[in-house]
């Protein structure tokens, strides 16, 4: 019973393609996040949704578009992929970040060639 599951785990694609990453959580949390982790392991927040409503939208290119069909799902669509988009993308969920922190998925390793 994976708490936060992401698919796919690995994604290799060519520059200019469009791709999607899916995330689902079965914890009943209200808030979900997308983080990008670069090669130096720095975790940077991209988006946050609370019960399907976008609440955090950091400085991210318009090519990245999140979609939350319901509070258990948060997907990330990326248009016109660039080499610099290569990274590990983590989905996370939380009920109360201060008290309980986040539960992370296992990540999607995206490689753009």
Q: What residues line the site for other proteins (CB under 8 A)?
A: 4, 31, 33, 40-43, 45, 48, 50, 55-56, 90, 92, 96-107, 109
Closest approach of other proteins to the CB of residue 41, in Å: 4
- Is the CB of 15 or the CB of 56 nearer to other proteins? 56
Question: Phi/psi at 97 (nearest 5 deg)?
Answer: -55, -40
Cα separation of 107 and 54, whole Å? 21
Pick left, alpha or beta for residue 106 (phi over 0 → left; psi -120 to 50 → alpha; otherwise beta): alpha
Closest approach of other proteins to the CB of residue 32, in Å: 12
Closest approach of other proteins to the CB of residue 92, in Å: 8
Kind and range of the H or E element at 95? none
């Amino acid at each position: 019973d994976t708490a936060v599951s992401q698919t796919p785990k690995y994604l290799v694609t060519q520059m200019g393609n469009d791709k999607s990453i899916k995330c689902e959580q079965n914890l009943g949390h209200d808030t979900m996040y997308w983080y990008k982790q670069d090669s130096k392991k720095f975790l940077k927040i991209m988006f946050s949704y609370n019960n399907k409503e976008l609440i955090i939208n950091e400085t991210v290119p318009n090519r990245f578009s999140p979609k939350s069909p319901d509070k258990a799902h948060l997907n990330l669509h990326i248009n016109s992929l660039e080499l610099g988009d290569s990274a590990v993308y983590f989905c996370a969920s939380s009920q109360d970040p201060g008290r309980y922190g986040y539960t992370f998925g296992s990540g999607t390793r995206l490689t753009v060639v």
